Chains A and B, each alone.
Chain A
Amino acid sequence: MSKPKVFEKPIGVRDYLPNAVAKLRRIEQNVLDCMRRWGYEQIITPTMEYYDTVGVASSTSDQKLFKLLDPRGTTIVLRSEMTSPIARVAASLLKERPFPLRLSYHAGVFRAFEDEAGRDAEFFQTGVELIGDSSSEADAEVIALAIASLRAAGVPAFKVAVGHVGFLNGLFQEALPGRTEEQEALKECLLQRDHVGYRQTLSRLSLDDQVRSELEGILRLRGGAEVCEQALGLSASREAQAAIRQLCEVWDVLGAYGVQEHVLIDLTMIGDFSYYTGINFEGYASHLGFPVCSGGRYDNLLSQFGRPAAATGFALKTTRILEVAEDDTPAEGGRTLIVYTHEQRREALQEAERLRAEGLLVVTEALDAASPEWGGLRERAARVETFEHRGADYDSLLVYGVGEEARP
């Protein structure tokens, strides 16, 4: 590649200009505050972790991790998500704290360069982990909190699709007992979202016709509570039945939270089978082609850090939410400009300090009384109106200079 031009940044990273930062901070504050009111305490973990611990435990595939070498030659990764760092903390620094732990975070995470498709190399995630509670109530709490957080973030219209990895696991084991390779092939198709490939694979397998059409039918298991009913009839497998019962329970709890209108049941929604162990979910906003949140139950992760525990959580893709969130907070009012000549510097700066202590935003500027702008500003100070000065808007103007003082 040719030498970068001076304005260029590495692919996949962004600058955030003042307007975007203000909006991002408001979203972050509102969401973290929402999480705090549900009893989740915010923690901060380091940007860098060891590859052999957090890197390996992470759900991010190996080639998407940013890897570095420290001076001793140990491989370091830039965190690619926050769940495994938090698992590490829960199993070490917080190991004396009894379960359940409710933790929240807002952090930049890193994924190795990808050329396109809105996949940033660095982006913000805001999320929670609920560790040490395996109940359906906990699953529902996390989903309900995800919905509350999307609302707090100002996402105008969204749906959360909820699935369960146990259903397909159980169904496939029952339909194809002992034929693990074929089960894997079918799961791989679903994971790749390749429904054509799924049907083609099914048609190649030697199967009872009824079983085949049932397995084809799962592609339609999307909707509301009625999907659970249909699914219950599909498989007698204990694992699948347990998964559906759990899903029904979660659905009921979400009803009690009053958020069912935002929830779809989707049994074709497949997260990473090697990572998620139960209920998993994804949030979608209209006007955005990529999911805005994802989460689920991961009961095997904590044991990798020496403190086995059930856990569930989610992350909001805050950087993407920034693009769709409605920002109804009015622009902050009360910007004051104080201009002064050197004779009245002390008075001017002290007034500025007093106004700032009152919470106003004050910009000060020294001017020469002989400068061409001085007269115009003096005159303007007599009028009460918003005005523009050097590219910024102000609501009021104070002028301190040459023995006289003008106030609006």
Chain B
Amino acid sequence: MAELKPGARFKSAVCETEVVVIAAPEGELQVTCGGVSMLGEGESADSDSQLAAEAGGGTELGKRYTNAAGDTELLCVKPGDGSLAVGGETLVIKGAKPLPSSD
């Protein structure tokens, strides 16, 4: 369990994935990648952690991942093999809103 403060960075314990919190509800939440709790600043992985097969969808660089309620959003800053979940709910890619470039 961890506090998901905007700007906080989490690393996967089982793959290369790294995310930055864009938005999340207050309070302690469980954030996982590949089915295993992600690591906050200064935390290190247990050597026997393994990517769970059912959580192996992978992450893509630069995609924003969100929950159904839309109140939690993680930005993938390094891609990897695991998929992301918060509080047990698997996050999905937030659809891109096509906007013309204005600058």
Whether chains A and B associate is no
